[in-house]
């Protein structure tokens, strides 16, 4: 209904644009419209274009997925060129073209960001993470899943400057080893959620240090961390009383003997069913998996 009202205004009638822009339209009306519709609204008139530009400059949250399956590079640059008050930035649909050249100006002029989502943005570099660490001291949540450009030096910069971090997703950041994870958790002891999934370089040292440094930890994802063993899971159970979920699927060296402690506390566990685990171990030993229908 609001959209129809905006599109049907005429110069001879009371116009929505007569309302105070910064006090009423931007904070109380436009914020309820999807971003894609707001961009279309710019084409109604020059006045609406000015209004939307004002809205974009004062926008607190930008999520590229609201615009559609893909956002053009030029559109992204234009949308955020005047914004210095962003608090949340999610760039899931920009991996085909997003580089440091487009991202760094946005990061550099927005020092209030506390949520950043860069999952799958493979064309960025370590300079992007360094820029985030220097510009966003209040950062609380950061997703770098499948960003293989993340290295130990850039992660150290993040740990040194963003000590308020509560959730970090490092899924498939395969350059990272135990030492880098240890440095992160030592500096960022407020972590409540951490994903180290799909990283064969992460082992017991990182998990034990995480347990000892992050007593507030609630969620830990170790899916596919093949070097993680029972001992570190026991340390996790001892030092993390607030743990609510643990993912250890495909961690073939983690057994029920260590998981039972967490299971008895009601921790949600994501682990292979016993039969599937046995088949995987058999495959490791003899080099092939017997043909068995696991769904029977």
CATH of the domain at 153: 3.80.10.10
Burial of residue 248 (number of CB atoms within 10 Å: 0-12, 13-18, 19+): buried
**Dist CA 41 CA 50 (whole Å):** 11
Would 6 be classed as within a structural domain?
A: no
Per-residue confidence in pLDDT tens, the chain, 296 aa: 444 545 444 444 556 666 666 666 666 567 767 777 777 777 777 877 788 888 889 899 999 888 867 788 888 888 899 999 999 999 987 888 999 999 999 999 999 999 999 999 999 999 999 999 999 999 999 999 999 999 999 999 999 999 999 999 999 999 999 999 999 999 999 999 999 999 999 999 999 999 999 999 999 999 999 999 999 999 999 999 999 999 999 999 999 999 999 999 999 999 977 655 545 444 544 554 444 444 43
Angle at 129 between CA 190 and CA 85, to 5 degrees: 80
Please give the structure tokens belonging to residue 233.
Answer: 């899971």
Q: Are 96 and 76 in contact (CB under 8 A)?
A: no
DSSP code of 34? -
SS3 state at 193: strand
Would 24 be classed as within a structural domain?
A: no
Range of the domain at 275: 60-283
SS3 state at 39: helix
Would 252 be classed as within a structural domain?
A: yes
Give the pLDDT of residue 165: 98
DSSP of 149-162: T--HHHHHHHHHH-
Average pLDDT, the chain: 86
3-state SS of 85-124 is CCCEEECCCCCCCCCHHHHHHHHHCCCCCCEEECCCCCCC
Would 208 be classed as within a structural domain?
A: yes
Beta bridge partners of 270: 247
Would 130 be classed as within a structural domain?
A: yes
SS3 state at 194: strand
Would 296 be classed as within a structural domain?
A: no
179-183, Cβ contacts within 8 angstroms, sequence gap of 24 or more: 179/152, 180/151, 180/152, 180/155, 180/156, 181/206, 181/209, 181/210, 182/206, 182/209, 183/152, 183/155, 183/156, 183/159
Domain count, the chain: 1
Would 41 be classed as within a structural domain?
A: no
SS3 state at 25: helix
Of the candidates 60, 61, 48, the residue with the CA atom closest to the CA atom of residue 21 = 48
Please give the structure tokens belonging to residue 232.
Answer: 């570190």
Would 38 be classed as within a structural domain?
A: no
- Exposure letters 10-44 (e unless 16+ CB within 10 A, then b): eeeeeebeeeebeeebbeebbeebebeebbebbee
């Amino acid at each position: 209904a609001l959209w129809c009202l905006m599109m049907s205004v005429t110069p001879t009638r009371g116009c929505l644009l007569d309302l105070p822009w910064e006090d009423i339209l931007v904070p109380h009306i436009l914020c309820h419209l999807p971003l894609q519709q707001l961009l279309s609204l710019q084409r109604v008139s020059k006045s609406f274009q000015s209004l939307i530009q004002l809205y974009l400059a004062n926008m607190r949250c930008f999520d590229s997925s609201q615009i559609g399956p893909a956002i053009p590079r030029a559109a992204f640059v234009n949308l955020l060129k005047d914004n210095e008050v962003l608090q949340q930035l999610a760039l899931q649909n920009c991996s085909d073209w997003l580089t440091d050249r487009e991202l760094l100006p946005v990061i550099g002029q927005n020092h209030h960001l506390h949520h950043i989502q860069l999952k799958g943005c493979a064309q960025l570099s370590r300079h992007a993470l360094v820029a985030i660490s220097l510009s966003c001291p209040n950062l609380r949540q950061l997703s770098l899943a499948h960003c293989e450009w993340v290295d130990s030096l850039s992660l150290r910069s993040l740990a040194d400057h963003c000590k308020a971090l509560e959730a970090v997703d490092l899924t498939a950041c395969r350059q990272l080893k135990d030492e880098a994870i240890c440095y992160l958790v030592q500096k960022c002891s407020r972590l409540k959620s951490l994903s180290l999934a799909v990283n064969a370089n992460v082992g017991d040292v990182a998990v034990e240090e995480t347990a000892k440094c992050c007593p507030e930890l609630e969620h830990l994802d170790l899916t596919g961390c093949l070097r993680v063993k029972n001992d570190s899971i026991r340390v996790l159970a001892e030092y993390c009383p607030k743990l609510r979920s643990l993912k250890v699927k495909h961690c073939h060296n983690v057994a029920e003997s260590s998981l039972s402690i967490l299971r008895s506390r009601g921790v949600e566990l994501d682990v292979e069913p016993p039969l599937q685990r046995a088949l995987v171990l058999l495959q490791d030993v003899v080099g092939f998996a017997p043909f068995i229908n696991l769904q029977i």
